[in-house]
Amino acid sequence: MQAGSMISSRLLQALRGAKSVAVLTGAGISAESGIPTFRGNEGLWKKFKPEELASVDAFLRNPDLVWEWYAYRKHVVRESQPNAGHRALVDLEALIPDVTVITQNVDNLHQRAGSKNVVELHGNITRNFCNDCGARYDDEAIPETPGVPRCQKCGGLIRPAVVWFGELIPPDQWRLAETAARRANVFFSVGTSGIVYPAASLPLLAKDHGAYVVEINTEITPLSDIVDETIIGKAGDVLPEIVAQLRSPKEDFSQ
Ligand code: OAD
Ligand code: ZN
């Protein structure tokens, strides 16, 4: 394949004129960092039932088990590094005046890569809070115990600061996501299966407000029908290619 041929001139043109770009990301963008996705053959939800591990009921029923599962995932995340896809979104900030990354991921990799404007729809696994009094704890502030750690202030159970099934997306984060989607001239949906709402409604919201909507995924998803363009490929290949094309002065669309 000719280098850059996966990037359409329509997309390049839209990006060259864009003042505002919003990027919705899902587990797929972190797959190349070695963090398992939720769905698909190797996905976490193939091996574990989400309702047994990722809900407040599950946590109250079996706090040690749920904590152990998150302790394992915290470990995986700590040992991983941002990849070329995360870095390309940082590079985009130098090329577009307004870039918002709206992530469903809890792995903190966009922030570690250096993205300045990250909206966390599903929380962040590197933070925690007391289920009773709400006191906040960074990972470093938590004593290494075999089971679930206890709040130093009230003795309550400490839980990861992630959004569980049955819980609401933090309203302030949702407002930021909606605003960014409405404002975007170009909207990317990257590495998400597009079936978990309300996050999956953002590409359509962006489109309704005039954005050119582009999906980047290794396969077709339910979003593929509504977007303007789907680029089949790995986020870690496609996003750096888009940045490279944007930087290159080769193509002149003025004629
Ligand atoms: P999924 O696991 O549902 O989907 C991952 C998507 O990434 C799939 O569509 C894959 O085809 C795609 N993919 C895999 N590798 C890729 C790569 N290298 N480049 C591009 N795409 C790739 O993950 P999400 O859509 O993020 O919610 O899942 C949404 C939410 O469901 C998660 O945030 C989580 C889960 O339950 C909560 O925890 C609240
Ligand atoms: Zn407490």
Average pLDDT over residues 5-33: 96
Active site residue 75: no
As beta bridge partners, residue 216 has 190, 231
Collapse the DSSP code of 144 into the 3-class scheme (helix H, G, I; strand E, B; otherwise coil) and give the result: coil
Assign domain 36-79+124-162 one CATH number from 3.30.70.2860, 3.40.50.1110, 3.30.1600.10, 3.40.50.360.
Answer: 3.30.1600.10
Give the whole-number percent of the chain exceeding pLDDT 90.
Answer: 86
Contact 219, 39 (CB under 8 A): no
Residue minimizing CA distance to atom 9 of ligand 1? 193
Report CA dihedral (200, 204, 210, 211) to the nearest 10 degrees.
Answer: 30
235 CA closest ligand 1 atom index: 19
100, with CB counted inside 10 A (0-12, 13-18, 19+), is buried
More confident residue, 39 or 50: 39
Q: Which of 20-29, 36-45, 215-224 has the lowest average pLDDT?
A: 36-45
Kindly indicate the confidence band of residue 250, based on its pLDDT and cuts at 50, 70 and 90.
low
Return mean pLDDT, the chain.
Answer: 94
| d(CA 158, ligand 1 centre) in Å | 27
Mutate which of 24, 38, 59 for ligand 1? The one with the most ligand atoms within 8 Å of its CB, which is 38
| CATH 3.30.1600.10 in the chain, residue ranges | 36-79+124-162
Tokens of 180: 């960014």
Number of other CB atoms surrounding residue 99 within 10 Å: 22
The answer, yes or no, to whether residue 254 has pLDDT greater than 80, is no
CA angle 224, 240, 196 (to 5 degrees): 35
25 CA closest ligand 1 atom index: 26
Residue minimizing CA distance to atom 8 of ligand 1? 193
Collapse the DSSP code of 224 into the 3-class scheme (helix H, G, I; strand E, B; otherwise coil) and give the result: helix
Q: What's the rounded Cα separation, in Å, for the pair 42 and 194? A: 18
- 178-225 residue pLDDT tens: 999 999 999 999 999 999 999 999 999 999 999 999 999 999 999 999
Closest by CA position to 229, among listed 2, 4, 14: 14
Q: For residue 45, how many C-alpha atoms fall within 13 Å in the half-sphere facing its CB? A: 10
Rg of the chain over Cα atoms, rounded to whole angstroms, equals 19
Ramachandran region, residue 4 (left: φ > 0; alpha: ψ -120 to 50; beta: rest): left
Sequence length of the chain is: 255
Pocket-forming residues, ligand 1, beta carbon under 6 Å: 26-28, 31-32, 37-40, 43, 50, 54, 104, 122, 163, 191-193, 196, 216-219, 221, 234-235
| Cα distances (angstroms) measured from residue 136 to each of 35, 131, 162, 199 | 25, 10, 13, 25
As residues whose CB is below 5 A from the ion ligand 2, the structure lists: 130, 132-133, 135, 151, 153-154, 156
Mutate which of 107, 164, 174, 192 for ligand 1? The one with the most ligand atoms within 8 Å of its CB, which is 192
Collapse the DSSP code of 242 into the 3-class scheme (helix H, G, I; strand E, B; otherwise coil) and give the result: helix
| CATH 3.40.50.1220 in the chain, residue ranges | 1-35+82-122+169-255
Q: What's the rounded Cα separation, in Å, for the pair 215 and 225? A: 10
Superfamily of domain 1-35+82-122+169-255: TPP-binding domain (3.40.50.1220)
| d(CA 150, ligand 1 centre) in Å | 32
Kindly indicate the confidence band of residue 133, based on its pLDDT and cuts at 50, 70 and 90.
very high
Kindly indicate the confidence band of residue 49, based on its pLDDT and cuts at 50, 70 and 90.
confident
Number of other CB atoms surrounding residue 253 within 10 Å: 10
194 CA closest ligand 1 atom index: 25
The sign of the dihedral angle between the CA atoms of 202, 54, 32, 127 is positive
